[in-house]
Amino acid sequence: MTSVVDNPFREGLARDQAPSPCCFVLFGATGDLCARKLLPALYQLLKQGLTPQEFYVLGVARREKTDEQWRAEMREAVAEHSRDGQLDEEVWGQFAERLGYHTGNFDDDAAYARLAARLEQLDQDYGTAGNRLFYLAVGPDYFTAIPTALAKQGLFDEPGESWVRVVVEKPFGTDLASAQALSGHLRALLHERQIYRIDHYLGKETVQNILTLRFGNAIFEPLWNRRYIESVQITVAETVGMEGRRGPFYEEAGAIRDMVQNHMMQLLSLVAMEPPAAWGAESIRAEKAKVLQALQPWTPEQVAQQVVRAQYRAGFQAAEAALGYREEEGVDPGSVTETYVAMRLGLETWRWSGVPFYLRTGKRLPKRVTEIAVSFRQPPLALFRQPEDQATNTLVLRIQPDEGVSLSFLCKVPGMRMLRRQVKMDFNYGSSFGTASPEAYERLVLDAMMGDSTLFTREDEVEHAWRFVSSILDGWQAAGATQLPQYDAGTWGPEEADGLLLDNDSWRRL
Protein backbone atom coordinates (compact mmCIF):
# COMPACT_ATOMS: atom_id res chain seq x y z
CA MET A 1 0.00 0.00 0.00
CA THR A 2 1.31 3.48 -0.86
CA SER A 3 2.28 5.40 2.23
CA VAL A 4 -0.13 8.17 3.14
CA VAL A 5 2.77 10.60 3.40
CA ASP A 6 3.92 12.02 0.04
CA ASN A 7 1.30 10.05 -1.79
CA PRO A 8 0.75 11.39 -5.33
CA PHE A 9 -2.93 10.48 -5.14
CA ARG A 10 -3.29 12.87 -2.23
CA GLU A 11 -2.26 15.81 -4.34
CA GLY A 12 -4.86 18.50 -3.92
CA LEU A 13 -6.23 17.08 -0.69
CA ALA A 14 -5.36 19.36 2.18
CA ARG A 15 -3.11 17.64 4.73
CA ASP A 16 -5.42 18.44 7.59
CA GLN A 17 -8.19 16.76 5.63
CA ALA A 18 -6.75 13.25 5.73
CA PRO A 19 -9.61 10.90 6.53
CA SER A 20 -9.71 10.14 10.21
CA PRO A 21 -9.99 6.56 11.50
CA CYS A 22 -13.35 5.13 10.61
CA CYS A 23 -15.60 2.13 10.38
CA PHE A 24 -17.58 2.01 7.14
CA VAL A 25 -20.85 0.24 7.95
CA LEU A 26 -22.46 -0.85 4.72
CA PHE A 27 -26.13 -1.80 4.83
CA GLY A 28 -27.06 -3.80 1.72
CA ALA A 29 -23.85 -5.83 1.74
CA THR A 30 -25.25 -8.54 -0.52
CA GLY A 31 -26.71 -6.11 -3.07
CA ASP A 32 -25.75 -5.07 -6.54
CA LEU A 33 -24.48 -1.60 -5.65
CA CYS A 34 -22.14 -2.99 -3.03
CA ALA A 35 -20.64 -5.56 -5.41
CA ARG A 36 -20.43 -3.39 -8.51
CA LYS A 37 -19.54 0.01 -7.13
CA LEU A 38 -18.91 0.37 -3.41
CA LEU A 39 -16.48 -2.43 -2.65
CA PRO A 40 -14.46 -1.80 -5.84
CA ALA A 41 -14.32 1.89 -4.88
CA LEU A 42 -13.13 1.17 -1.34
CA TYR A 43 -10.54 -1.30 -2.64
CA GLN A 44 -9.27 1.31 -5.08
CA LEU A 45 -9.04 3.95 -2.32
CA LEU A 46 -7.06 1.58 -0.13
CA LYS A 47 -4.81 0.73 -3.06
CA GLN A 48 -4.03 4.41 -3.51
CA GLY A 49 -3.33 4.87 0.18
CA LEU A 50 -6.32 7.16 0.61
CA THR A 51 -8.13 5.24 3.30
CA PRO A 52 -7.04 5.84 6.88
CA GLN A 53 -4.71 3.30 8.48
CA GLU A 54 -7.34 2.58 11.11
CA PHE A 55 -10.12 1.47 8.85
CA TYR A 56 -12.71 -1.29 8.72
CA VAL A 57 -15.60 -2.16 6.40
CA LEU A 58 -18.46 -3.98 8.03
CA GLY A 59 -21.09 -5.28 5.59
CA VAL A 60 -24.59 -5.71 7.01
CA ALA A 61 -27.39 -7.68 5.37
CA ARG A 62 -30.14 -10.14 6.12
CA ARG A 63 -28.63 -13.28 4.64
CA GLU A 64 -26.75 -15.59 7.01
CA LYS A 65 -23.09 -15.51 6.07
CA THR A 66 -19.73 -15.73 7.73
CA ASP A 67 -17.00 -13.11 7.37
CA GLU A 68 -15.06 -15.56 5.18
CA GLN A 69 -18.00 -16.18 2.86
CA TRP A 70 -18.62 -12.49 2.33
CA ARG A 71 -14.93 -11.80 1.78
CA ALA A 72 -14.80 -14.54 -0.86
CA GLU A 73 -17.82 -13.06 -2.65
CA MET A 74 -16.38 -9.56 -2.48
CA ARG A 75 -13.07 -10.81 -3.83
CA GLU A 76 -14.88 -11.98 -6.96
CA ALA A 77 -16.85 -8.74 -7.17
CA VAL A 78 -13.78 -6.55 -6.89
CA ALA A 79 -11.85 -8.67 -9.40
CA GLU A 80 -14.74 -8.32 -11.85
CA HIS A 81 -15.63 -4.67 -11.34
CA SER A 82 -12.36 -3.04 -10.34
CA ARG A 83 -11.47 -0.31 -12.79
CA ASP A 84 -7.98 -1.74 -13.37
CA GLY A 85 -9.67 -4.91 -14.57
CA GLN A 86 -7.56 -7.05 -12.23
CA LEU A 87 -6.95 -7.76 -8.59
CA ASP A 88 -3.65 -6.89 -6.93
CA GLU A 89 -3.21 -9.78 -4.50
CA GLU A 90 -1.12 -7.84 -2.02
CA VAL A 91 -3.59 -4.98 -1.87
CA TRP A 92 -6.48 -7.40 -1.68
CA GLY A 93 -4.81 -9.10 1.30
CA GLN A 94 -4.60 -5.78 3.16
CA PHE A 95 -8.18 -4.95 2.24
CA ALA A 96 -9.57 -8.38 3.20
CA GLU A 97 -8.08 -8.06 6.71
CA ARG A 98 -10.37 -5.10 7.19
CA LEU A 99 -13.58 -6.69 5.89
CA GLY A 100 -16.26 -8.26 8.05
CA TYR A 101 -19.89 -9.23 7.75
CA HIS A 102 -22.76 -8.85 10.17
CA THR A 103 -26.01 -10.77 9.68
CA GLY A 104 -29.06 -8.84 10.72
CA ASN A 105 -32.67 -8.38 9.80
CA PHE A 106 -33.23 -4.66 9.27
CA ASP A 107 -36.38 -4.75 11.44
CA ASP A 108 -34.85 -6.65 14.30
CA ASP A 109 -33.79 -4.59 17.34
CA ALA A 110 -31.67 -7.45 18.66
CA ALA A 111 -29.59 -7.38 15.47
CA TYR A 112 -28.82 -3.69 16.05
CA ALA A 113 -27.85 -4.36 19.66
CA ARG A 114 -25.38 -6.98 18.41
CA LEU A 115 -24.20 -4.51 15.79
CA ALA A 116 -23.52 -1.88 18.46
CA ALA A 117 -21.47 -4.38 20.45
CA ARG A 118 -19.53 -5.42 17.37
CA LEU A 119 -18.75 -1.82 16.44
CA GLU A 120 -17.38 -1.20 19.89
CA GLN A 121 -15.20 -4.27 19.61
CA LEU A 122 -13.97 -3.10 16.18
CA ASP A 123 -13.05 0.28 17.68
CA GLN A 124 -10.82 -1.55 20.12
CA ASP A 125 -9.33 -4.01 17.64
CA TYR A 126 -8.83 -1.66 14.70
CA GLY A 127 -8.57 1.75 16.33
CA THR A 128 -11.59 3.13 14.47
CA ALA A 129 -12.17 5.57 17.33
CA GLY A 130 -15.97 5.49 17.34
CA ASN A 131 -16.09 7.26 13.95
CA ARG A 132 -18.80 5.67 11.82
CA LEU A 133 -20.02 6.09 8.32
CA PHE A 134 -23.33 4.30 7.88
CA TYR A 135 -24.03 3.76 4.20
CA LEU A 136 -27.61 2.88 3.27
CA ALA A 137 -27.24 0.92 0.02
CA VAL A 138 -30.69 -0.58 0.54
CA GLY A 139 -34.17 -0.14 -0.93
CA PRO A 140 -35.89 3.14 0.02
CA ASP A 141 -38.33 1.25 2.26
CA TYR A 142 -35.50 0.97 4.78
CA PHE A 143 -34.33 4.59 4.69
CA THR A 144 -36.41 5.33 7.78
CA ALA A 145 -36.33 2.01 9.63
CA ILE A 146 -32.54 1.62 9.71
CA PRO A 147 -31.74 5.13 11.01
CA THR A 148 -34.50 4.81 13.61
CA ALA A 149 -33.05 1.57 14.88
CA LEU A 150 -29.49 2.92 14.87
CA ALA A 151 -30.56 5.98 16.83
CA LYS A 152 -32.34 3.77 19.34
CA GLN A 153 -29.07 1.99 20.08
CA GLY A 154 -27.37 5.36 20.63
CA LEU A 155 -25.32 4.81 17.49
CA PHE A 156 -25.88 8.37 16.26
CA ASP A 157 -24.34 9.88 19.37
CA GLU A 158 -20.96 11.51 18.85
CA PRO A 159 -19.14 11.24 22.17
CA GLY A 160 -15.91 13.19 22.50
CA GLU A 161 -14.28 13.94 19.16
CA SER A 162 -15.98 11.09 17.31
CA TRP A 163 -18.28 11.59 14.34
CA VAL A 164 -21.21 9.80 12.75
CA ARG A 165 -22.38 10.30 9.16
CA VAL A 166 -25.12 8.64 7.16
CA VAL A 167 -25.02 8.28 3.39
CA VAL A 168 -28.45 7.85 1.82
CA GLU A 169 -28.67 6.37 -1.66
CA LYS A 170 -31.24 7.41 -4.22
CA PRO A 171 -34.17 7.62 -4.65
CA PHE A 172 -34.64 10.26 -1.97
CA GLY A 173 -38.46 10.18 -1.96
CA THR A 174 -40.84 9.54 -4.81
CA ASP A 175 -42.44 12.99 -4.82
CA LEU A 176 -42.28 16.23 -2.85
CA ALA A 177 -44.37 14.96 0.07
CA SER A 178 -42.41 11.73 0.55
CA ALA A 179 -39.05 13.53 0.21
CA GLN A 180 -40.13 16.03 2.86
CA ALA A 181 -41.32 13.24 5.12
CA LEU A 182 -38.01 11.41 4.74
CA SER A 183 -36.01 14.58 5.39
CA GLY A 184 -38.15 15.31 8.43
CA HIS A 185 -37.55 11.82 9.75
CA LEU A 186 -33.78 11.97 9.28
CA ARG A 187 -33.53 15.48 10.66
CA ALA A 188 -35.23 14.36 13.85
CA LEU A 189 -32.39 11.86 14.35
CA LEU A 190 -29.38 13.62 12.80
CA HIS A 191 -28.02 17.07 12.00
CA GLU A 192 -28.06 18.09 8.34
CA ARG A 193 -24.23 18.10 8.46
CA GLN A 194 -24.37 14.35 9.17
CA ILE A 195 -26.64 13.50 6.21
CA TYR A 196 -25.02 12.75 2.84
CA ARG A 197 -27.59 12.37 0.03
CA ILE A 198 -25.79 10.79 -2.83
CA ASP A 199 -26.17 11.60 -6.51
CA HIS A 200 -23.39 9.76 -8.28
CA TYR A 201 -23.37 12.24 -11.18
CA LEU A 202 -21.75 14.77 -8.86
CA GLY A 203 -18.83 12.41 -8.39
CA LYS A 204 -18.03 12.28 -12.10
CA GLU A 205 -14.84 14.15 -12.98
CA THR A 206 -16.44 15.92 -15.91
CA VAL A 207 -19.36 17.10 -13.82
CA GLN A 208 -16.97 18.59 -11.27
CA ASN A 209 -15.13 20.19 -14.16
CA ILE A 210 -18.19 22.31 -14.97
CA LEU A 211 -17.32 24.43 -11.94
CA THR A 212 -13.64 24.67 -12.89
CA LEU A 213 -14.46 25.62 -16.44
CA ARG A 214 -16.94 28.27 -15.40
CA PHE A 215 -15.23 29.79 -12.40
CA GLY A 216 -11.56 29.13 -13.10
CA ASN A 217 -11.48 30.83 -16.50
CA ALA A 218 -12.20 34.47 -17.11
CA ILE A 219 -13.29 34.11 -20.73
CA PHE A 220 -16.56 32.27 -20.16
CA GLU A 221 -18.05 34.30 -17.32
CA PRO A 222 -18.86 37.49 -19.29
CA LEU A 223 -20.66 35.39 -21.91
CA TRP A 224 -22.49 33.10 -19.55
CA ASN A 225 -25.88 34.78 -19.55
CA ARG A 226 -28.98 35.67 -21.53
CA ARG A 227 -27.25 38.36 -23.57
CA TYR A 228 -24.94 35.89 -25.32
CA ILE A 229 -26.49 32.48 -24.83
CA GLU A 230 -29.30 31.44 -27.13
CA SER A 231 -30.16 28.09 -25.55
CA VAL A 232 -28.78 25.25 -23.47
CA GLN A 233 -29.36 21.59 -24.24
CA ILE A 234 -28.74 18.82 -21.72
CA THR A 235 -28.83 15.25 -23.00
CA VAL A 236 -28.51 12.05 -21.01
CA ALA A 237 -28.97 9.27 -23.54
CA GLU A 238 -28.65 5.61 -22.64
CA THR A 239 -28.61 2.53 -24.83
CA VAL A 240 -29.59 0.13 -22.07
CA GLY A 241 -33.17 -0.91 -21.44
CA MET A 242 -34.26 -2.77 -18.32
CA GLU A 243 -31.06 -4.86 -18.25
CA GLY A 244 -33.12 -7.98 -17.58
CA ARG A 245 -33.73 -7.15 -13.92
CA ARG A 246 -34.72 -3.52 -13.44
CA GLY A 247 -38.31 -3.68 -14.74
CA PRO A 248 -40.09 -3.76 -11.35
CA PHE A 249 -38.01 -0.85 -10.00
CA TYR A 250 -38.39 1.18 -13.17
CA GLU A 251 -42.16 0.68 -13.33
CA GLU A 252 -42.40 2.76 -10.14
CA ALA A 253 -39.76 5.30 -11.13
CA GLY A 254 -39.91 6.08 -14.84
CA ALA A 255 -37.39 8.37 -16.50
CA ILE A 256 -38.51 11.47 -14.64
CA ARG A 257 -37.85 10.10 -11.17
CA ASP A 258 -34.90 7.94 -12.20
CA MET A 259 -32.91 10.57 -14.13
CA VAL A 260 -34.54 14.01 -14.22
CA GLN A 261 -35.27 14.79 -10.57
CA ASN A 262 -31.71 14.00 -9.53
CA HIS A 263 -28.98 13.73 -12.18
CA MET A 264 -30.38 16.19 -14.72
CA MET A 265 -31.45 18.75 -12.14
CA GLN A 266 -27.93 18.62 -10.72
CA LEU A 267 -26.39 19.19 -14.15
CA LEU A 268 -28.78 22.07 -14.71
CA SER A 269 -27.93 23.66 -11.38
CA LEU A 270 -24.18 23.51 -12.05
CA VAL A 271 -24.54 25.08 -15.48
CA ALA A 272 -26.89 27.81 -14.34
CA MET A 273 -25.68 28.69 -10.82
CA GLU A 274 -24.15 32.03 -9.83
CA PRO A 275 -20.50 32.10 -8.73
CA PRO A 276 -20.30 30.94 -5.10
CA ALA A 277 -19.10 33.42 -2.50
CA ALA A 278 -16.39 30.97 -1.43
CA TRP A 279 -15.14 27.53 -2.37
CA GLY A 280 -16.98 25.44 0.17
CA ALA A 281 -19.89 23.05 0.52
CA GLU A 282 -22.36 25.56 1.90
CA SER A 283 -21.64 28.38 -0.58
CA ILE A 284 -21.71 26.09 -3.60
CA ARG A 285 -24.84 24.27 -2.54
CA ALA A 286 -26.59 27.52 -1.70
CA GLU A 287 -26.09 28.76 -5.27
CA LYS A 288 -27.23 25.45 -6.74
CA ALA A 289 -30.31 25.50 -4.55
CA LYS A 290 -31.25 28.97 -5.86
CA VAL A 291 -31.33 27.67 -9.43
CA LEU A 292 -33.67 24.87 -8.47
CA GLN A 293 -35.78 27.26 -6.46
CA ALA A 294 -36.23 29.37 -9.58
CA LEU A 295 -37.99 26.45 -11.26
CA GLN A 296 -41.57 27.34 -10.57
CA PRO A 297 -44.04 24.42 -10.42
CA TRP A 298 -45.98 24.02 -13.66
CA THR A 299 -49.72 23.92 -14.22
CA PRO A 300 -51.14 20.86 -16.05
CA GLU A 301 -51.43 23.08 -19.16
CA GLN A 302 -47.75 23.98 -19.01
CA VAL A 303 -46.88 20.33 -18.50
CA ALA A 304 -48.86 19.43 -21.62
CA GLN A 305 -47.05 22.10 -23.64
CA GLN A 306 -43.53 21.82 -22.29
CA VAL A 307 -42.96 18.15 -21.54
CA VAL A 308 -43.04 15.11 -23.80
CA ARG A 309 -42.90 11.61 -22.38
CA ALA A 310 -42.71 8.43 -24.37
CA GLN A 311 -42.00 4.73 -24.20
CA TYR A 312 -39.80 2.54 -26.37
CA ARG A 313 -41.35 -0.20 -28.39
CA ALA A 314 -39.52 -3.13 -29.96
CA GLY A 315 -36.72 -2.16 -32.31
CA PHE A 316 -33.04 -2.73 -32.96
CA GLN A 317 -30.14 -1.78 -30.76
CA ALA A 318 -26.73 -2.07 -32.40
CA ALA A 319 -28.25 -4.34 -35.06
CA GLU A 320 -29.75 -6.68 -32.45
CA ALA A 321 -33.47 -7.05 -31.87
CA ALA A 322 -34.53 -5.27 -28.66
CA LEU A 323 -37.75 -5.82 -26.71
CA GLY A 324 -40.31 -3.10 -26.28
CA TYR A 325 -40.66 -1.69 -22.76
CA ARG A 326 -44.02 -3.34 -22.21
CA GLU A 327 -42.50 -6.73 -23.05
CA GLU A 328 -39.66 -6.43 -20.57
CA GLU A 329 -39.62 -8.72 -17.53
CA GLY A 330 -41.49 -7.34 -14.56
CA VAL A 331 -43.26 -4.66 -16.64
CA ASP A 332 -47.03 -4.39 -16.89
CA PRO A 333 -48.07 -5.02 -20.54
CA GLY A 334 -50.37 -1.97 -20.25
CA SER A 335 -47.77 0.18 -18.49
CA VAL A 336 -47.74 3.96 -19.00
CA THR A 337 -44.36 4.44 -17.35
CA GLU A 338 -42.18 6.76 -19.44
CA THR A 339 -38.77 5.62 -20.63
CA TYR A 340 -38.09 8.97 -22.34
CA VAL A 341 -38.67 12.55 -21.23
CA ALA A 342 -37.92 15.77 -23.03
CA MET A 343 -38.80 19.24 -21.83
CA ARG A 344 -38.26 22.91 -22.42
CA LEU A 345 -37.88 24.94 -19.31
CA GLY A 346 -36.98 28.48 -18.44
CA LEU A 347 -35.24 29.90 -15.41
CA GLU A 348 -36.73 33.19 -14.35
CA THR A 349 -33.55 34.65 -12.96
CA TRP A 350 -31.64 37.81 -13.78
CA ARG A 351 -29.02 35.78 -15.64
CA TRP A 352 -31.26 33.42 -17.57
CA SER A 353 -34.64 35.00 -18.17
CA GLY A 354 -35.82 34.09 -21.69
CA VAL A 355 -33.19 31.42 -22.40
CA PRO A 356 -34.71 28.02 -23.18
CA PHE A 357 -33.14 25.01 -21.49
CA TYR A 358 -33.90 21.79 -23.33
CA LEU A 359 -33.55 18.56 -21.39
CA ARG A 360 -33.90 15.05 -22.77
CA THR A 361 -33.18 11.61 -21.43
CA GLY A 362 -34.17 8.14 -22.47
CA LYS A 363 -33.47 4.46 -22.37
CA ARG A 364 -32.83 2.49 -25.56
CA LEU A 365 -31.58 5.47 -27.53
CA PRO A 366 -28.98 4.82 -30.25
CA LYS A 367 -25.94 6.01 -28.32
CA ARG A 368 -24.74 6.35 -24.74
CA VAL A 369 -23.91 10.00 -24.38
CA THR A 370 -24.25 12.64 -21.70
CA GLU A 371 -23.46 16.20 -22.67
CA ILE A 372 -24.33 19.82 -22.07
CA ALA A 373 -24.38 22.02 -25.16
CA VAL A 374 -24.38 25.79 -24.72
CA SER A 375 -25.32 27.59 -27.95
CA PHE A 376 -24.38 31.24 -28.36
CA ARG A 377 -26.30 33.89 -30.21
CA GLN A 378 -25.64 34.73 -33.86
CA PRO A 379 -23.45 37.73 -34.70
CA PRO A 380 -25.49 40.95 -34.77
CA LEU A 381 -25.13 41.45 -38.53
CA ALA A 382 -25.35 38.73 -41.16
CA LEU A 383 -22.32 39.71 -43.25
CA PHE A 384 -22.10 36.21 -44.68
CA ARG A 385 -25.28 35.08 -46.32
CA GLN A 386 -24.99 31.39 -47.15
CA PRO A 387 -27.15 29.09 -45.05
CA GLU A 388 -24.07 27.29 -43.64
CA ASP A 389 -22.92 30.64 -42.23
CA GLN A 390 -25.86 30.67 -39.89
CA ALA A 391 -24.41 27.93 -37.70
CA THR A 392 -24.04 29.05 -34.10
CA ASN A 393 -21.02 28.79 -31.81
CA THR A 394 -21.63 25.92 -29.46
CA LEU A 395 -19.64 24.99 -26.38
CA VAL A 396 -20.15 21.32 -25.64
CA LEU A 397 -19.24 19.81 -22.29
CA ARG A 398 -18.96 16.10 -22.94
CA ILE A 399 -19.68 14.39 -19.65
CA GLN A 400 -19.40 10.80 -20.93
CA PRO A 401 -18.26 8.58 -22.50
CA ASP A 402 -15.86 10.59 -24.68
CA GLU A 403 -15.00 13.06 -21.90
CA GLY A 404 -13.93 16.51 -23.03
CA VAL A 405 -14.93 19.99 -24.08
CA SER A 406 -15.30 21.39 -27.58
CA LEU A 407 -16.12 24.74 -29.10
CA SER A 408 -17.43 25.03 -32.63
CA PHE A 409 -16.95 28.17 -34.68
CA LEU A 410 -16.98 29.39 -38.25
CA CYS A 411 -13.74 29.24 -40.21
CA LYS A 412 -12.64 30.22 -43.70
CA VAL A 413 -11.99 27.23 -45.90
CA PRO A 414 -8.46 27.50 -47.39
CA GLY A 415 -8.49 28.61 -51.01
CA MET A 416 -9.15 31.58 -53.26
CA ARG A 417 -12.86 31.61 -52.64
CA MET A 418 -14.48 33.02 -49.54
CA LEU A 419 -16.07 29.79 -48.33
CA ARG A 420 -16.77 29.10 -44.71
CA ARG A 421 -17.32 26.01 -42.61
CA GLN A 422 -17.96 25.09 -38.97
CA VAL A 423 -14.87 23.68 -37.25
CA LYS A 424 -14.16 22.53 -33.72
CA MET A 425 -11.55 23.18 -31.07
CA ASP A 426 -11.44 20.06 -29.02
CA PHE A 427 -10.11 19.14 -25.59
CA ASN A 428 -10.08 15.47 -24.73
CA TYR A 429 -9.45 14.21 -21.20
CA GLY A 430 -7.83 10.95 -22.26
CA SER A 431 -5.22 12.44 -24.55
CA SER A 432 -4.56 15.54 -22.40
CA PHE A 433 -4.04 13.83 -19.08
CA GLY A 434 -3.29 10.26 -20.06
CA THR A 435 -4.67 8.86 -16.81
CA ALA A 436 -7.98 7.19 -16.12
CA SER A 437 -10.43 9.24 -14.10
CA PRO A 438 -11.50 7.85 -10.76
CA GLU A 439 -14.92 6.27 -10.56
CA ALA A 440 -17.63 8.60 -9.23
CA TYR A 441 -18.11 6.41 -6.16
CA GLU A 442 -14.43 6.56 -5.22
CA ARG A 443 -14.59 10.31 -4.99
CA LEU A 444 -17.89 10.38 -3.14
CA VAL A 445 -17.02 7.70 -0.62
CA LEU A 446 -13.73 9.43 0.15
CA ASP A 447 -15.45 12.80 0.53
CA ALA A 448 -17.99 11.31 2.92
CA MET A 449 -15.17 9.80 5.00
CA MET A 450 -13.45 13.19 5.05
CA GLY A 451 -16.62 15.06 5.95
CA ASP A 452 -16.79 17.10 2.75
CA SER A 453 -20.40 17.36 1.61
CA THR A 454 -19.86 19.64 -1.41
CA LEU A 455 -20.73 16.86 -3.84
CA PHE A 456 -23.79 15.69 -1.94
CA THR A 457 -27.22 17.22 -2.30
CA ARG A 458 -28.57 19.36 0.49
CA GLU A 459 -32.13 19.10 1.81
CA ASP A 460 -33.30 22.30 0.08
CA GLU A 461 -31.87 21.26 -3.30
CA VAL A 462 -33.73 17.97 -3.16
CA GLU A 463 -36.96 19.66 -2.16
CA HIS A 464 -36.84 22.36 -4.84
CA ALA A 465 -36.15 19.72 -7.48
CA TRP A 466 -39.05 17.64 -6.22
CA ARG A 467 -41.41 20.61 -6.08
CA PHE A 468 -40.87 21.15 -9.79
CA VAL A 469 -40.86 17.49 -10.79
CA SER A 470 -43.93 16.75 -8.67
CA SER A 471 -45.84 19.38 -10.64
CA ILE A 472 -45.04 17.42 -13.79
CA LEU A 473 -46.15 14.18 -12.18
CA ASP A 474 -49.39 15.90 -11.10
CA GLY A 475 -49.93 17.19 -14.63
CA TRP A 476 -49.48 13.71 -16.04
CA GLN A 477 -51.83 12.26 -13.51
CA ALA A 478 -54.47 14.85 -14.40
CA ALA A 479 -54.03 14.00 -18.08
CA GLY A 480 -54.67 10.33 -17.25
CA ALA A 481 -53.09 8.87 -20.42
CA THR A 482 -53.59 5.18 -21.15
CA GLN A 483 -51.07 5.19 -23.97
CA LEU A 484 -47.86 7.18 -24.40
CA PRO A 485 -46.16 8.23 -27.63
CA GLN A 486 -43.87 5.42 -28.75
CA TYR A 487 -40.40 5.34 -30.26
CA ASP A 488 -38.59 2.38 -31.72
CA ALA A 489 -35.81 1.04 -29.51
CA GLY A 490 -32.55 2.28 -31.00
CA THR A 491 -33.93 5.61 -32.25
CA TRP A 492 -33.73 9.16 -30.89
CA GLY A 493 -37.16 9.29 -29.27
CA PRO A 494 -40.60 10.39 -30.46
CA GLU A 495 -41.16 13.10 -33.05
CA GLU A 496 -43.48 14.84 -30.58
CA ALA A 497 -40.29 16.07 -28.86
CA ASP A 498 -39.59 18.34 -31.85
CA GLY A 499 -42.68 20.32 -30.91
CA LEU A 500 -40.87 21.61 -27.81
CA LEU A 501 -38.26 23.48 -29.83
CA LEU A 502 -38.52 27.23 -30.33
CA ASP A 503 -37.66 29.20 -33.49
CA ASN A 504 -34.60 27.79 -35.23
CA ASP A 505 -33.61 25.42 -32.44
CA SER A 506 -33.11 21.73 -33.13
CA TRP A 507 -32.16 18.70 -31.08
CA ARG A 508 -28.49 18.05 -31.41
CA ARG A 509 -27.58 15.10 -33.59
CA LEU A 510 -25.19 12.95 -31.60
Q: Which residues are catalytic?
A: 263
Nearer to ligand BG6, 128 or 370 (CB): 370
Shortest reach from residue 82's CB to ligand BG6, in Å: 17
Q: What is the DSSP string of 195-244?
A: EEE--GGGGSHHHHHHHHHHHS-TTTGGGSSTTTEEEEEEEEE-----TT
Q: How many CB atoms lie within 10 A of CB 93?
A: 10
Nearer to ligand BG6, 44 or 293 (CB): 44
> How far apart are the C-alpha atoms of 372 and 237, rounded to whole Å?
12
Cβ-contact 77, 36 below 8 angstroms: yes
Residues in region 40-69 near ligand BG6 by CB under 6 A: none
> How far apart are the C-alpha atoms of 134 and 433, rounded to whole Å?
34
Shortest reach from residue 369's CB to ligand BG6, in Å: 10
Shortest reach from residue 225's CB to ligand BG6, in Å: 29
In 3D, which of 11, 201, 51 has the Cα closest to residue 131?
51
Shortest reach from residue 317's CB to ligand BG6, in Å: 14
The verdict on whether omega for the bond into residue 401 sits within 30 degrees of 0, i.e. cis, is yes
User: Buried b vs exposed e over 306-330: b needs ≥16 C-beta within 10 Å?
Assistant: bbbbbbbbbbebeeeebbbbbebee
Nearer to ligand BG6, 238 or 426 (CB): 238
Nearer to ligand BG6, 88 or 238 (CB): 238
In 3D, which of 472, 466, 457, 480 has the Cα closest to residue 168?
457
Nearer to ligand BG6, 139 or 275 (CB): 139
Say how many residues make up the chain: 510
Count the site residues for ligand BG6 by CB under 6 A.
Answer: 2
Helix (H) or strand (E) holding 26: strand 22-27
Shortest reach from residue 250's CB to ligand BG6, in Å: 7
x/- string (CB under 6 A) for ligand BG6, residues 308-327?
A: --------------------
Nearer to ligand BG6, 70 or 325 (CB): 325
> How far apart are the C-alpha atoms of 142 and 200, rounded to whole Å?
20
Shortest reach from residue 29's CB to ligand BG6, in Å: 20
- Cα distances from 104 to residues 27, 61, 119, in angstroms, run 10, 6, 14
Helix (H) or strand (E) holding 409: strand 404-412
Beginning with the edge strand found earlier in the chain, give each strand of the sheet holding 22-27 in spatial order: 99-103, 55-61, 22-27, 132-136, 164-168, 195-197
Task: Please identify which residue in 158, 205, 238, 282 interacts with ligand BG6, judged by CB under 6 A.
Answer: 238
Q: What is the DSSP string of 329-383?
A: TT--TT----SEEEEEEE--STTTTT-EEEEEEESS-SS-EEEEEEEEPPPSS--
Nearer to ligand BG6, 33 or 87 (CB): 33
Residues in region 75-134 near ligand BG6 by CB under 6 A: none
- Closest residue to ligand BG6 using C-beta atoms: 258
Shortest reach from residue 258's CB to ligand BG6, in Å: 5
Q: Classify residue 162 by its DSSP letter.
A: -
Residues in region 407-436 near ligand BG6 by CB under 6 A: none
Task: Please identify which residue in 123, 169, 230, 258 interacts with ligand BG6, judged by CB under 6 A.
Answer: 258
Shortest reach from residue 338's CB to ligand BG6, in Å: 13
> How far apart are the C-alpha atoms of 339 and 256, rounded to whole Å?
8
Nearer to ligand BG6, 258 or 442 (CB): 258
User: Buried b vs exposed e over 188-206: b needs ≥16 C-beta within 10 Å?
Assistant: ebbeeebbbbbbbbbbbbb
Residues that bind ligand BG6 (CB under 6 A): 238, 258
